[in-house]
Amino acid sequence: MPGRDTDLQHLGEDRQGSAGAVSPPIYRTSLFTFPDSKSLGEVLRGERDGYVYTRVSNPTIGVLEKKVAALEETDDSIAFASGMAAVSAVLFSFLRSGDHLVLSSSAYGPTLAMARDMIEPLGVEVSLVSPAELGDLEEHLRENTRLVYLESPASLTFELTDLRSVAEVARARAIPTVVDNSWATPLYQKPANFGIDLSLHSGTKYLSGHSDLLLGMVAGSGGLIERVRKTAVLLGGCVSPDDAFLAIRGLRTLSLRMQRHQENGLYLSHKLMDHPRVPEVLHPANPFFPGHAVFRSHFEGSSGLFSFLLDGEPERFCDALELFLLGVSWGGFESLALPSSVLPEVAKGKGVRLDLPRNLVRLSVGLEDPEDLWEDLQRGFAALG
Q: Tell me, yes or no, whether 212 and 351 share the same domain.
A: no
Number of domains in the chain: 2
- Active-site position among 146, 205, 229, 348: 205
Domain that holds residue 293: 254-383
Residue of 27, 108, 149, 206 marked catalytic: 108
- Are 38 and 145 in the same domain? yes
The residue among 210, 236, 252 that closes a domain is 252
Residue 2, pLDDT score: 78
User: Domain boundary at 223, 252, 281, which?
Assistant: 252
Catalytic residue, candidates 76, 99, 162, 180:
180
**How far is 202 from 217, CA to CA, in rounded Å?**
7
Residue 229 has pLDDT above 90, yes or no: yes
Task: Please check whether residues 10 and 90 belong to one and the same domain.
Answer: yes
Shared-domain flag, residues 132 and 22: yes
> Do 337 and 226 belong to one domain?
no
At residue 17, does pLDDT exceed 60?
yes
pLDDT (0 to 100) of residue 345: 64
336 in Cβ contact with 365 (< 8 Å)? no
Same domain for 352 and 296, yes or no, is yes
Q: Is residue 349 scored above 80 in pLDDT?
A: no
Question: Is 180 an active-site residue?
Answer: yes
With bands split at pLDDT 50, 70 and 90, how would you rate the model's confidence at 294? very high
State pLDDT tens for residues 302-335.
Answer: 999 999 999 999 999 999 999 999 999 999 999 9
pLDDT in tens, 59-70: 999 999 999 999
pLDDT in tens, 257-268: 999 999 999 999
If asked whether residues 206 and 319 sit together in one domain, one would say: no
In whole angstroms, how far apart are CA 75 and each of 60, 85, 109, 116?
18, 21, 29, 32
Question: How many C-beta atoms surround the C-beta of residue 149 within 10 A?
Answer: 25
- Claim to verify: residue 260 and residue 311 sit in the same structural domain: yes
The CATH number of whichever domain residue 303 belongs to comes to 3.90.1150.10
Q: Are residues 183 and 238 in the same domain?
A: yes
For residue 16, the SS3 value is: helix
Residues 12 and 113 reside in one and the same domain: yes
Q: What is the mean predicted confidence (pLDDT) over 340-367? A: 76
Q: Are residues 13 and 123 in the same domain?
A: yes
- On whether the CB atoms of residues 220 and 191 are closer than 8 A, the answer is no
205 is catalytic: yes
103: left (phi over 0), alpha (psi -120 to 50) or beta: beta
Residues 77, 203, single domain; the answer is yes
Q: Is the pLDDT of residue 18 over 90?
A: no
* pLDDT, position 123: 98
pLDDT at 81: 99
Q: Which among 4, 55, 116, 271 is annotated as catalytic? A: 55
Return the half-sphere exposure (C-beta side, CA atoms, 13 A cut-off) of residue 208: 29
**Is 33 buried (19+), middle (13-18) or exposed (0-12) by CB count in 10 A?**
exposed
Q: What pLDDT is attached to residue 350?
A: 44
> Is 4 part of the annotated catalytic residue set?
no
The pTM assigned to this predicted structure is 0.94
CATH number at residue 161: 3.40.640.10
Task: State which of 252, 279, 296 marks the end of a domain.
Answer: 252
